[in-house]
Amino acid sequence: MNNQNVHVLIIDDNEDILFMLRSMFQFKGYQVTVKENADDIENFIMGLSPDIILMDMLLSGANGSELCKQIKSNMDIASIPVVMISAMPHADKICLEAGADYFVSKPFEMDKMISTVAGAVENRNPVI
């Protein structure tokens, strides 16, 4: 699949991180949408229909893992792979338990981030 056909949704309340990630994926040719908060997230995702969601675990005003659980329990969007990122210790465990498909700790290697996302998209349930 061509990266340009892959639509990545990035949710992070830290603007710097959000734009850095957008630059990184855009540089790699992905189609990127960013969101700074968790407001009306389910509807947003349903409206957007991204191929993959990249989300920080700690969002102001919302708990990332709770958010992840919502996504994964909404049948319309549950099939979208979720990659969670965090600087918190043991966040990986919390995120995976919440239903996240992948976890990347902060700070991360660009290569690792890109390959994780690419792998996640490739492995997602084929939607025909």
Partner 1 sequence: MLDPHTPPYLSKKRSLLSARGEMSELMASKDWSKTLLGDIDLWPQSLLTATSIILNSKFPMFIFWGREQICLYNDAYRPSLGINGKHPNILGMPGEKAWPDIWHIIKPMLDGVMAGGEATWNEDQLIPIYRNGELEDVYWTFSYSPINDESGKPGGVFVTCMETTEKVFMLHNKDEKENELNTLIRKLEKSEEKFRNTVKQAPTGIAFFRGKDFVLEMANKNYLQLIDKEESAVVGKPMFEFVPEVEEIVRPLIENVLLTGIPYTDDELKVVLNRYGKAEEAYFNLVYQPFFEADGRVSGVMVVANEVTASVKSKLGLKVNEEKLRLAIEGTSLGTFEIDLLTNAIEYSDRYLEIYGFQPHEQPTRQEVIDRLYEEDKVIRLHSFEEALVSGMLEYEARVISTDTITKWIRVRGKIIYDNDNKPIKVLGTVIDITKEKNTLRLIEESEVRLRLALEGTRLATWDLDLQTRNILYSPRLLEIFGHDKTKILTHQEMRNQVHPDDIHAVVEKAFAEAEETGMYYYEARIIKPDKTISWIKTHGNMIFDNNKVPVRMIGTLSDITESKTIEESMAKMAAIVQSSGDAIIGKTTQGIITSWNDAAENIFGYAAEEMIGQSIYKLIPEDRVDEELLIMGKIKSGERLKHFETKRLRKDKTLIDLSITVSPIKDSNNNIIGASKIARDITSQKKTEKLITENQYRLNTAIEAAEMGTWELDMVTDEVQYSQRYLEILELDPSRHPTHDEIITVIYPDDLPLRNKMIKEAMEKGTLEMELRIITMQTKSIKWVKSRAKVFYDTNGKPLKMMGIILDITAEKMKAEELRTREEKFRLLANSMPQLVWTSDTEGNLNYFNQSVYSYSGITKKQMEEKGWIQIVHPEDRDENIKKWMQSVKTGKDFLFEHRFRKHNGEFRWQLSRAIPQKDPNGNIQMWVGTSTDIHEIKESEQQKDLFISMASHELKTPITSIKGYVQILLSMHNDSNDTFLKNSLFTVNKQIGVLTNLIGDLLDMSKIKSGSLQLNREAFNLNSMVKEIITDMEHTEPKHDFIFNAGKDVELSGDKERIGQVLINFLTNAIKYSPNSNIININSTIEDDYAIVSVADKGIGINKADQQKIFDRFYRVEGKDEKTFPGFGIGLFIASEIIQRHKGKIKVESEPGKGSIFSFLLPLEK
Backbone torsions φ then ψ of 38, nearest 5 degrees: -100, 10
- Residue 89 lies near partner 1 (rule: CB under 8 A): yes
Binding status of residue 108 toward partner 1 by CB under 8 A? yes
For partner 1, the closer CB: 36 or 42: 36
What is d(CA 118, CA 27) in angstroms, rounded to the nearest whole number? 14
Whether the Cβ atoms of residue 89 and residue 20 lie closer than 8 Å to each other: no
Nearer to partner 1 among residue 19 and residue 79 (C-beta): 19
**Closer to partner 1 at the Cβ: 47 or 89?**
89
Build a one-symbol-per-residue string for 59-88: x at contacts with partner 1 by CB under 8 A, - elsewhere: ----------------------------xx
Q: Is 34 exposed, middle or buried (0-12, 13-18, 19+ CB in 10 A)?
A: middle
Q: Position 12: which residue type?
A: D
Residues that bind partner 1 (CB under 8 A): 14, 16-17, 20-21, 23-24, 27-28, 87-90, 93, 106-111
